[in-house]
Every structure is written in structure tokens, then in C-alpha cells.
């Protein structure tokens, strides 16, 4: 989250609350992974709140831990969790198979980025009211890495047959393009600013699924 520690902690409380209500809508194990997305966003914002405090007060160890935790969530967990959670809920076999391929892309991105995080420098600093993450990763084909990241995280929802999932995909993809264009240097942090919007849509999707199931299982009125 941009701006301050207070903003990050405030966002984490909102996202955590949304996450609790969303999880209550999940009736199966497969749904719980998808319903947990707002909580993961909330944890990520909570971590960045501590990162703000660490940078502002020169707490070096806390800064290092918070930086790595944030990047692990952003670059290792998201490209796997998003396609995996959507794939688990998908009822159509052909779409499920395609989502499995997207999950493979996300897994490749996660493994590569995990290697980079473990081997190369990962630093953070406050820059123009945003947190800038300085990642000393090797200069490989960044377009290819971005593609393997964006396909599973932003395109997977468009494949799903579940109602309103495409709206979630449009939010993820739209905010990604917006932050990359207008906040290129701070895109990693700023993109998470939109987590609240995406989390609200996750709640709407789960609420809709619940209503549809109740309508399907309820006896017909004579």
C-alpha cells in the first residue's frame, strides 16, 4: 500500500474483515482457497505496514524480513495461488485443463523468482511516498518472465465459467496495466493498493455462488 504505515495497517484490517466474511461463504475445501485471497492480501498489507515502520526508524533487521516477506507473497505465492484456487472451483473439464496449464506457467514463474529472491539482493526504500523494491535479479528476458506471471494471475479468471469471474480478471489486468504505465518504478507496491477492490469482487463471487447453490438445492414451491 502506498502513502504510510497507517494506510497499510488500515487496509489490512479491511481486507482481513472481508476475508473472514468471504471464507464464511465457502462450503467446500476447493472454495476456501479462492475465498482466502482477501486474507492473503490483508497479510501482505500488514507486512508492508511493518516495512514502513522499519524504514522510517532504521530497523534494519525488521526491514529485511518485511521486504522479503512482501516479495515472497507478491512474486511467489500470487502466480500459483490465483490459478490454483480458480482451477479447483472450475466445473468444466476443458477449462480446468487450460487452467492447469496456466498453473504450470505460474509455477515456473514462482520457482524462478524464488531462486532469484534466495540468491540475489532484495531491498526496499521509501521513494516519493511509495515503497520502492530494488530487486537485483539477473537481466534475463523480463518480457518472458512478466508473461509467465501475468498469464496465471490476470488471465486465469477469464478462462473460468464461474459467474463474475471475468470481472475479477478485468480488475486484475486493468490495475496491472495502470500501475505498470503510471507507477512503473513502484508498481509492485502500488498494484497492491487495488487489493481492496479485487477482494470485494471475490466476496461478490462467493456470495453469488452461495445463492446459486441454495436455489439449486432448495425444493420447488408447489
Using CA atoms, how far apart are residues 185 and 8, in angstroms rounded to an integer? 19
pTM: 0.89
What are the counts of helices (DSSP H) followed by strands (DSSP E) for the chain? 11, 2
Q: Give pLDDT tens digits for 38-58.
A: 999 999 999 999 999 999 999
Per-residue cell: 80: 500459483
pLDDT bracket for residue 32 (50, 70, 90): very high
Per-residue pLDDT for 178 more than 60? yes
Q: Give pLDDT tens digits for 116-136.
A: 999 999 999 999 888 999 998
CB-facing half-sphere around the CA of 48: CA atoms within 13 A: 35
Amino acid at each position: 500500500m502506498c502513502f504510510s504505515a497507517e494506510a497499510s495497517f488500515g487496509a489490512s484490517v479491511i481486507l482481513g474483515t472481508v476475508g473472514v466474511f468471504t471464507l464464511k461463504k465457502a462450503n467446500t475445501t476447493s472454495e476456501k482457497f479462492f475465498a482466502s485471497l482477501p486474507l492473503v492480501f490483508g497479510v501482505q498489507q500488514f507486512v508492508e505496514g511493518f516495512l514502513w515502520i522499519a524504514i522510517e526508524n532504521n530497523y534494519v533487521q525488521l526491514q529485511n524480513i518485511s521486504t522479503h516477506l512482501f516479495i515472497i507473497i507478491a512474486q511467489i505465492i500470487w502466480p500459483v495461488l490465483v490459478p490454483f484456487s480458480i482451477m479447483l472451483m472450475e466445473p468444466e473439464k476443458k477449462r480446468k485443463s487450460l487452467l492447469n496449464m496456466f498453473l504450470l506457467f505460474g509455477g515456473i514463474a514462482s520457482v524462478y523468482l524464488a531462486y532469484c529472491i534466495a540468491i540475489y539482493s532484495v531491498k526496499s526504500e521509501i521513494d516519493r511516498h511509495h515503497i520502492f523494491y530494488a530487486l537485483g535479479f539477473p537481466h534475463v528476458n523480463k518480457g518472458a518472465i512478466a508473461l509467465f506471471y501475468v498469464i496465471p494471475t490476470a488471465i486465469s479468471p477469464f478462462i473460468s465459467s464461474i459467474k463474475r469471474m471475468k470481472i475479477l480478471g478485468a480488475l486484475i489486468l486493468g490495475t496491472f496495466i495502470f500501475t505498470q504505465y503510471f507507477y512503473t518504478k513502484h508498481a509492485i507496491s502500488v498494484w497492491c493498493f487495488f487489493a481492496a477492490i479485487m477482494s470485494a469482487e471475490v466476496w461478490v463471487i462467493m456470495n453469488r455462488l452461495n445463492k446459486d447453490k441454495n436455489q439449486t438445492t432448495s425444493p420447488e414451491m408447489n
